[in-house]
Structure 1
Amino acid sequence: MNSFIDVGDGVRLRIRTLGSGRPVLLIHGWTLAHEVWDRPMQVLAAAGHQVIAVDLRGHGDSDAPLEPYDVVRLAADGAAVLRACATEPATVVGWSLGGLTALRMAHDFPDLVSGVVTVASVGAAHVRHDAYPYGPPAGEAAESALRGFEFADRIRFRRKAIGDLFKDVPATDVLDWLHRVSLRTPGWVADACLSTLFRTEQTALLPNIKVPFSQIVGVHDPGLSVDGARWVQGQVDGRLIELDCGHYPMLECPDDFDKALLTLV
């Protein structure tokens, strides 16, 4: 079932729901949309879950205001979706940018979240910070460079940004599909969410997470530090599952990803 949820200030988010049972909220990554969860939705629904996949604000078919796109706002949007759709606390599965959002939801809205699974994300940060010395370089120069590429030629930048995060060169039809989905996200949204990826640092929240917190990561993901994932897992109660893939485990090794996900929700 497809519908829209009003999250305030005139912004509506597109959601897709499937199945019934214990709720699972699926949150996608930067410039993508709920479509990336097509197969996991089927698997989770068949296993007895109510599956809710959301298009983050500015992405997919959701409304795209000029601002805000910080992780606190994205988490509040996710909470609004759960209040509207779920009758009990949900496991929140967040991929990449969605992983930052999922951790924030568990901290800010503990009554709505029964567990967190981050995918290709450690949840605490996306790039290096003083409190998280892992992952790709941070800093204004690195952020400005990517935002400049996005502004100058978003079509080419999006294709390269997506394709470079696979372990192996993706099939052309897969890359074409992801590129089409990505280009539905306007430039001002992509720009703002790049800043969110670079500026969000949530390590101080980890000791306050009282629900199971697990990670599924690709050991060949150029956008993530496996050492960082192991460090984060030492701060929380949950499991770390490492797969032989890059940033897209649901596409690169779908059987292994489905198996891992079912053990964590």
Structure 2
Amino acid sequence: MGYLEVEDGRRVYFEHFRGSGRPIVLIHGWGATARCWDTTTPALRTGGNEVVLLDLRACGRSDNDFADVSISALGSDVVKLVEHLGLREPVVNGWSLGGAVAVDAAVKLGSNCSGVVSTGGATPRYTSTSDWPHGGGVDDVKAVLGAAAADRANTFKGVAEAVCAEPPTPDAIAWLWGMFMEMGPLGDESLLDLAELDQRKILGGLSVPVLFLHGRKDAFVPFSGAEAARDLCTDAKLVEFPDAGHAPFLEDRDTYLAELSGFLKR
């Protein structure tokens, strides 16, 4: 574990597990922390992969008072971390909002990126437009953030309860809820930025393979959006998790790990 200074003395937290296999950077979703990958990391390490995790700006153990918490800033942090650790051609894997961060980082890494994984990823758009009929609207995002401003604890408990298609155990909900409650208030601005972001052009321009791992019952990022995202790419595969919601790595871990491991061995 360590901290990397990325903006005016502010730092992001990271963990680096060395291995002889292909490096992979795991990027959590909005409000979560690196701990969301705790059932994924052990299998990757067993497979010999070099694994890097981080807490995004304003989340978990990273500093909360950044001036910039945009998706672009978060993507730049991933690039700085890759360079700091000397990783060679890593795969970047992002969950939910982290999917947009992974795409941003992949573009900036250029030839030093070997693949992108979108795990229920909110890319290339999180909100709908006249030519992107997938997802809710910007006003829906603002309504969630307004509710959080008035009652953060119960709003985030509701988010935690909606992550999986089938209700997980109370302990699992409490685990997710606890991560969400660690996010500082500036983290809300990351979601606002995501709501306006359009990555269709840069996603379609990626020259690396892309793997979409997406739950058919995802209540946050519609499966139809993942289908449309796949069709934008020149080298992409979409794996459907029929009974999963927004977190296939938690809801169908064995299938998720098999697909991810196969991608890493390409």
Please give the range of the TM-score, normalised by the shorter of the 2 chains: over 0.9
Contact map agreement 1:71 1:104 (CA 8 A) in 2: yes
Tell me what 1:241 maps to.
Answer: 239
Deviation at 1:182, TM superposition (A): 1.2
Structure 1 counterpart of 2:161, from 160, 163, 184? 163
Tell me what 2:186 maps to.
Answer: 188
Contact map agreement 1:215 1:239 (CA 8 A) in 2: yes
The TM-score, its normalising length taken from structure 2, stands at 0.94
Deviation at 1:122, TM superposition (A): 4.9
Deviation at 1:66, TM superposition (A): 4.3
Equivalent positions of 1:12-23 (< 5 A) are 12-21=11-20, 22-23=22-23
Gaps of 5+ in 2: none
Contact map agreement 2:13 2:62 (CA 8 A) in 1: yes
- For residues 236-255 of structure 1, what are the alpha-carbon distances to aligned partners after superposition, in whole Å with 9 as ceiling and x for unaligned? 11211111201111211111
Gaps of 5+ in 1: none
Amino acid at match of 2:128: R
Amino acid at match of 1:188: L
Tell me what 2:47 maps to.
Answer: 47
Tell me what 2:196 maps to.
Answer: 199
- Detail structure 1 runs of 4+ shifted over 4 Å in the superposition: none
Amino acid at match of 2:222: S
CA-based RMSD of the aligned residues comes to 1.4
**In structure 2, the residue corresponding to 1:159 is in which secondary structure?**
helix
Tell me what 1:209 maps to.
Answer: 206
The percentage of aligned residue pairs carrying the same residue is 27
Identify if the C-alpha distance between structure 1 residues 19 and 45 changes in structure 2 by more than 3 Å, giving closer, same or farther.
Answer: farther
Separation in structure 2 between the aligned mates of residue 16 and residue 69 of structure 1, nearest angstrom: 20
Separation in structure 2 between the aligned mates of residue 200 and residue 11 of structure 1, nearest angstrom: 25
Contact map agreement 2:214 2:240 (CA 8 A) in 1: yes
The answer as to 2:75 corresponding to 1:75 is yes
Identify if the C-alpha distance between structure 1 residues 182 and 196 changes in structure 2 by more than 3 Å, giving closer, same or farther.
Answer: same
Identify if the C-alpha distance between structure 1 residues 207 and 248 changes in structure 2 by more than 3 Å, giving closer, same or farther.
Answer: closer
Separation in structure 1 between the aligned mates of residue 83 and residue 50 of structure 2, nearest angstrom: 14
The TM-score, its normalising length taken from structure 1, stands at 0.94
Equivalent positions of 1:111-122 (< 5 A) are 111-122=111-122
Tell me what 1:105 maps to.
Answer: 105
The answer as to 2:218 corresponding to 1:221 is yes
Contact map agreement 1:23 1:86 (CA 8 A) in 2: no
Deviation at 1:18, TM superposition (A): 1.7
Amino acid at match of 2:151: D
The answer as to 2:249 corresponding to 1:255 is no
Deviation at 1:123, TM superposition (A): 2.2
